[in-house]
Structure 1
Amino acid sequence: MGARRHGGADDVLYPDARPGCRRRRGGGEVAVPAMTNGMPALPEGFRLHRYETIGSTNDEARRLAREGAAEGTLVWADAQEAGRGRRGRPWLSPLGNLYLSLVLRPDAPASRAPQLGFVTALALADALRLLAGTGLALSFKWPNDVLAGRAKLAGILLESEMAAGGGLDFVIVGVGVNLASAPRDLEYPAASLSDQGFPGITPASLLESFTEHFALWLECWRADGFVPVRAAWLNRAGGIGEAVRVRLETLTLEGRFLD
């Protein structure tokens, strides 16, 4: 996958990454989205599957991956009837928000697959900042959330499968972003871009910007490893030094979030 580039200072591309990541790209910046007939113009290597309503974009992406779909296959839906987050929790998916799942086939051990969640968070934050400007205060909450203030704006769900002969076959990167609305009465507060004073950002425009930034951060991860990705993620992480609680299938882990 590749991203379109336009002239500019080389520290625009990876503003929080270490220099090795920037030098490899050689400069440029991501363009402001320019859609055609309301459809996003995706970078080279992305293949869009568009749905009005679907059960789950992750389920559809997994089905396509099992049938041999190439890396960059992207499932986008206006609404989901059976969206889910971590540990299978329902993800409310009404019209007006962004729901997507992306097929990746990284040539990497399965132990590195979780790093793609950090790649995704960085790409999503860069895309939102490009569209909303600096007035939108974003941070990351480990392991899989993007926050606006201290409320959840977006969630990331990674699911993977191993090949029959061993090794990682594919990873599905699922993303849900609250644009027009956010669920209420949750254990953790949620927010939407509309709540934050940015009602004009559409799912299509965010999808285009996200794929541009994702292609760049994925290239950084592949070329330079996790070090620059980790540094950039930590630079935007919230709650460092604070107590954290992570609920797994059969137990709850508590500790302190350190870098």
Structure 2
Amino acid sequence: MPASIAALPLPWTRTTPSLDSVTTGGSATTRAPSAESAVCLGLSIAKMGTVWAILVDAIGFSALAVQARTIVNCPKSIRIRVIMPLPRSPSTAPDLLLPPPYTLHVVREVVDPFSHAREIASAAGAGTLIWARRFHLAEFALVLEPEEPLAPARRVAYAAGNALCDALSSHAPAQVDISLDWPDAIRVDGALVGGLRLAWPEGTPEDAVPAWLVLGVTIRLVVMQAGEAGLRPLLGGLDEQGFEDLNPGMLVEGFARTFLRETNVWAEEGFEAVRLNWLHRWRGEAVEILDDGDMLSDGSSRSLGDALTTVSWLDPATGTPWI
């Protein structure tokens, strides 16, 4: 188990100075330190015009959302960040029901959420989820702020793959197999339906903490103009696999929940639990996922960082999964 929360590439913010007062609804409240303040404030978000905080148990990492009208003057060991309420606009309206600490930002269907998230990552901060409203694709991107160097932080790709499979499984017909290709692709009954990708600031050294990571996800829900499914058994969409009632918003909401659960597992049980979950979804030859995220196959190691630079499931001509 990691020595501290800071060692995990989770979507929580970095340490900032403790606050003496917090303004909520136009008023400020202050409170002196107490023994009851032995909790970790990982991230706060604005919701319904008030400030909410994520209270995270420093040992078990179990999260609880509470309305933070009074914030304790935290000791240095406590992590805290407060984002004050902002006026809503059409682009940030809560079209989806996302749990804290996510902040939804909806873009038009002509916008690539992965590219947009990279452009605004520094300013938007951890937990920002960019969703492009399309009917045939579930396409979104999530901004993360890791606290460990780039090389181990990239292991979040395994947690994201597990979470995406779990989100799909909750809507899948009985006996449908959902599997993972290393390091980034998702298959349903052997057919490629999409995957994930990961970006970081260009030029970041492997042993340096990146300013941000952006996790992108694209899943094809509906196949358009691709001929008969039998002519392309290894390529497809969820509509051809029996996912009748799933829409893009439902998948985004499901991933938001399962990703939080997967990061909780990582925090409580270590990367070994994430690794075993991922290998359970792997259908290829026997491999080993090393502690740094690289893959060991037939006695040779394959770099996770190098593999993530080329997106295996993405057709560069269309910007969508291969079909």
TM class by smaller structure: 0.5 to 0.7
Match of 1:147 in 2: 187
2:226 is aligned with 1:181: no
CA contact (8 A) 1:99 1:176 kept: yes
Paired AA for residue 220 in structure 2? N
Match of 2:112 in 1: 56
CA contact (8 A) 1:125 1:138 kept: yes
Match of 1:71 in 2: 126
CA distance in 1, matches of 2:145, 2:225: 32
Match of 2:5 in 1: none
CA drift at 1:25: 7.3
CA distance in 1, matches of 2:127, 2:150: 19
CA distance in 2, matches of 1:187, 1:116: 31
2:138 is aligned with 1:98: yes
Paired AA for residue 58 in structure 1? F
CA contact (8 A) 1:158 1:172 kept: yes
CA contact (8 A) 2:173 2:242 kept: no
CA contact (8 A) 1:75 1:100 kept: yes
CA drift at 1:222: 3.6
Match of 2:69 in 1: none
Match of 1:253 in 2: none
Unpaired runs of 5+ residues, structure 2, are: 1-10, 13-58, 63-92, 288-296, 311-323
CA contact (8 A) 2:107 2:113 kept: no
Taking the TM superposition and a 5 Å limit, the aligned residue runs for 1:203-242 are 203-241=248-286
Q: CA RMSD in A?
A: 3.6
Distance verdict in 2 for CA 1:184–1:72, change over 3 Å: same
Distance verdict in 2 for CA 1:196–1:25, change over 3 Å: farther
CA contact (8 A) 1:51 1:78 kept: yes
User: Aligned to 1:74, what secondary structure does the other structure show?
Assistant: strand
Of residues 201, 204, 220, the one that matches 2:246 is: 201
Encode CA deviations 1:175-211: one digit per residue, 9 max, x unaligned: 0011122785999932211000112200011111110
CA drift at 1:146: 1.1
CA contact (8 A) 2:61 2:268 kept: no
CA contact (8 A) 1:182 1:191 kept: no
CA contact (8 A) 2:172 2:242 kept: no
Normalization by structure 1: what TM-score? 0.68
Paired AA for residue 99 in structure 2? P
User: Aligned to 1:232, what secondary structure does the other structure show?
Assistant: helix
Identity %: 27
When Rg is computed on C-alpha atoms for both structures, the one with the higher figure is: 2
How many residue pairs were aligned? 204
Of residues 44, 69, 79, the one that matches 2:100 is: 44
Unpaired runs of 5+ residues, structure 1, are: 3-22, 27-36, 80-94, 251-259
Of residues 87, 112, 128, the one that matches 2:152 is: 112
CA distance in 1, matches of 2:107, 2:193: 22
CA distance in 2, matches of 1:229, 1:154: 21
- Bigger relative contact order, structure 1 or 2, given CA contacts below 8 A and separation 6+? 1
CA drift at 1:129: 1.0
Of residues 137, 158, 162, the one that matches 2:198 is: 158
CA drift at 1:62: 1.1
CA drift at 1:143: 1.1
Structure having the larger proportion of residues in helix: 1
CA contact (8 A) 2:204 2:210 kept: yes
The 4+ residue runs of structure 1 with deviation greater than 6 A are: 185-188, 242-250
Of residues 119, 122, 126, the one that matches 2:166 is: 126
Distance verdict in 2 for CA 1:196–1:44, change over 3 Å: same
